[in-house]
Structure 1
Amino acid sequence: QYRLFFRYHAPSKVIVFAWVNDDDTKRAYESSDDAYRVFRKMLESGHPPDDWNQLLAEARAEWLRLQRLAAGIAP
């Protein structure tokens, strides 16, 4: 029921996890909150970005945000 969407960049040998669905977006055929439908809408709105450098920059920013959260530091 859970889906992991990722992008792999061969020259740098890096995998970026673009999105992982949660309990609210499990796979449910024909449902408006189906994981594939939600992700398709995200792609149509430009998230995650199609450009590798932009995707990597956003992933790094999110990683830093999560690190601060885990350390108890306000964003």
Structure 2
Amino acid sequence: MSRDYDKEYKEYHGTEEQKKRRAARNKARRHLEQQGRVHKGDDRDVDHKDRNPHNNSPDNIRIRSQHANRGDNK
């Protein structure tokens, strides 16, 4: 059985809550890009220490490698 991306978007990624969470994560990365701390394609992630994407305070955000950041969720 193949993955149904349209259904997945409608039921999860397209909900208002998920759109707001994604926008907040993008805002945090954009802010650090403007400061020159991260760049597109640099293989680094902007990590929210408390796992709350709406909390973009400087003491809650850190830059981590993709490998380290994405390995934390397991």
- The TM-score with structure 1 as length reference comes to 0.35
More helix by share: 2
- The TM-score with structure 2 as length reference comes to 0.35
